[in-house]
């Protein structure tokens, strides 16, 4: 039990860093960037943030409840089985989508061009670097099962109809 704790104790550091610490540090860019000139109520960022939090949290909870990792989940790892339930029935990357929504909500709430710039950089990184590597490993590991899932469920925009495994 102790070794499992050591292997997974660092996991919360990543989302806290990506979703809270780096956006906070990004507000220092606001000194050098122009203000957001859009008129919207500041509270509009709150439901975006909360929706992202619920999506990311439910995705993480599902992954851990299925005990499909030998150690903590990571973008470089391979799960024991393909998760196609819960939020994964509607979108392929609900954890990352949740993180993007959290950061977007923070940027809207604080009206921070720095946070929204960080959001853009984070999205470009995960979309063009991180996710393609994950998807290659999933194709290698799960083959046709993942390709079928990938052909029906979009990466970022949730579908209206849940995924149904035809097998």
What's residue 21's pLDDT? 75
For 63, list phi and psi in degrees, rounded to 5. -60, -45
60: how many CB neighbours lie within 10 A of its CB?
A: 17
pLDDT tier for residue 166 given thresholds of 50, 70 and 90: low
Q: What is the pLDDT of residue 164?
A: 85
Query: Average pLDDT, whole number, for the chain?
Result: 83
Q: Where are the domains of the chain?
A: 2-152
User: Which residues are within 8 A (CB) of 8 and not within 5 positions of it... i.e. 6 or more apart?
Assistant: 71, 72
Helices 113-125 and 94-110 meet at what angle, rounded to 10? 160
Q: What angle do CA 5, 11, 15 make, to 5 degrees?
A: 155
- pTM of full prediction above 0.75: yes
pLDDT in tens, 62-114: 887 776 665 555 666 667 888 899 999 999 999 999 999 999 999 999 888 88
How remote is the C-alpha of 58 from its chain's centroid?
11
């Amino acid at each position: 039990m102790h070794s499992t704790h050591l292997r997974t104790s660092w996991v919360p550091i990543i989302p806290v860093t990506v979703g809270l610490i780096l956006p906070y540090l990004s507000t220092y860019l606001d000194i050098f960037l122009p203000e957001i000139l859009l008129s919207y109520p500041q509270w509009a960022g709150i439901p975006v943030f909360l929706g992202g939090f619920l999506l990311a949290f439910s995705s993480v909870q599902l992954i851990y409840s299925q005990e499909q990792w030998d150690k903590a989940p990571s973008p470089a790892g391979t799960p024991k089985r393909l998760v196609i339930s819960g939020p994964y029935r509607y979108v392929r990357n609900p954890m990352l989508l949740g993180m993007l929504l959290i950061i977007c909500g923070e940027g809207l709430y604080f009206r921070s061009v720095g946070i929204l710039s960080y959001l853009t950089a984070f999205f470009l990184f995960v979309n063009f670097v991180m996710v393609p590597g994950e998807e290659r490993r999933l194709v290698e590991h799960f083959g046709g099962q993942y390709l079928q899932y990938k052909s029906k469920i979009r990466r970022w925009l949730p579908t209206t109809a849940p995924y149904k495994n035809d097998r």
